[in-house]
């Protein structure tokens, strides 16, 4: 049991958030959002990880019952990646349209209701 993956996941989350907060470009911002999301992949995978001799949960060539990583979290991660891809694609499409309409991709000058 090592804490390293959890620490990295937390660091990715925080650093991604920092990127979003300080971003001056929508594409940069969207990539930062993906960075935040990748922390969730890492977290899920490290939760499913057992001690080192564990391998992929395919029991065709190893006897059933030998240690294997948890397949459920892999399924969850896959779903998560699909969600991430959808969101990223949608946001990039929005960015394209924003660029076309307003000629700028800086979130600082593009608030919907400047007050």
Partner 1 sequence: MPVGLPLLVAATLVAAAPICRRHVADLTAILAALAVTVTCIWLMRCSTEHTIVYWFSHWPPRGPQAIGISFVIDPLGAGLAAFCGCLVTVALVYAWGYFDAVRTYFHALMLIFLAAMAGFCLTGDLFNLFVFFELMSVVAYALTGYKVEEKQALAGAMNFAVTNSIGGFSVLIGIALLYGRTGALNMAQVGQSLSAHPADGLVVVALTLLVAGFFVKAAVVPFHFWLSDAHAVAPTPVCVLFSGVMIELGLYGVFRVYWTLFRSVPGLDGHRLQLVFIVLGALTAVLGAVMCFSQRHIKRLLAFSSISHVGMMVLGLGCLTSRGIAGTALYLLGHGCVKGALFLCAGLLLHRLGSVDQVELFGRARKFVILGCAFTVSGLGLAGFPPYGTYLGKQMIEEAGAAVGQHWLTWVLLFASVLTGGAVLRAGGMVFLGLGSTPRHDTGSPTSIQEEPETRKGRRYIPVVMLSAAVLLSLAPLISALSPDALTRAIEKGAERFANQPAYQRAVMKGEVAPPARFEATARPTAKGVLFGFVAAAGAVAVALLSLYAERLPAPGRRACSTLFRPVLQGLRRVHSGHIGDLIVWLVMGVVAIGVGCVVAASVLP
Residue ranges in 40-99 that form contacts with partner 1 under rule CB under 8 A: 40, 43-44, 47, 72-73, 76, 79-80, 83, 86-87, 90-91, 94-95, 97-98
Nearer to partner 1, 68 or 87 (CB): 87
Upper half-sphere CA count for residue 113 (Cβ side, 13 Å) = 0
Q: Work out which of 5, 8, 20, 54 binds partner 1, going by CB under 8 A.
A: 20
Binding of partner 1 by 101 (CB under 8 A): yes
Nearer to partner 1, 61 or 65 (CB): 65
Q: How far is the CB of 55 from partner 1 (least distance, A)?
A: 19
Question: Which H helix or E strand runs over 109?
Answer: none
Give burial (CB, 10 Å; 0-12/13-18/19+) of 92: middle
Q: Work out which of 21, 51, 53, 65 binds partner 1, going by CB under 8 A.
A: 21
Binding of partner 1 by 12 (CB under 8 A): no
In Å, what is the CA distance from 7 to each residue of 42, 47, 54, 114? 10, 13, 22, 39
Binding of partner 1 by 4 (CB under 8 A): no
CB atoms within 10 A of CB 36: 18
């Amino acid at each position: 049991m090592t804490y390293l993956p959890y620490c990295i996941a937390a660091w990715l989350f925080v650093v991604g958030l920092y990127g979003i907060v300080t971003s001056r470009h929508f594409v940069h911002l969207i990539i930062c959002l993906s960075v935040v999301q990748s922390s969730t992949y890492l977290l899920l995978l490290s939760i499913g990880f057992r001690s080192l001799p564990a391998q992929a949960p395919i029991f065709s060539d190893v006897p059933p019952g030998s240690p294997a990583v948890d397949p459920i979290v892999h399924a969850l991660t896959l779903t998560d990646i699909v969600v991430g891809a959808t969101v990223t694609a949608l946001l990039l499409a929005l960015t394209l349209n924003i660029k076309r309409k307003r000629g700028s991709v800086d979130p600082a000058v593009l608030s919907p209701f400047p007050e």
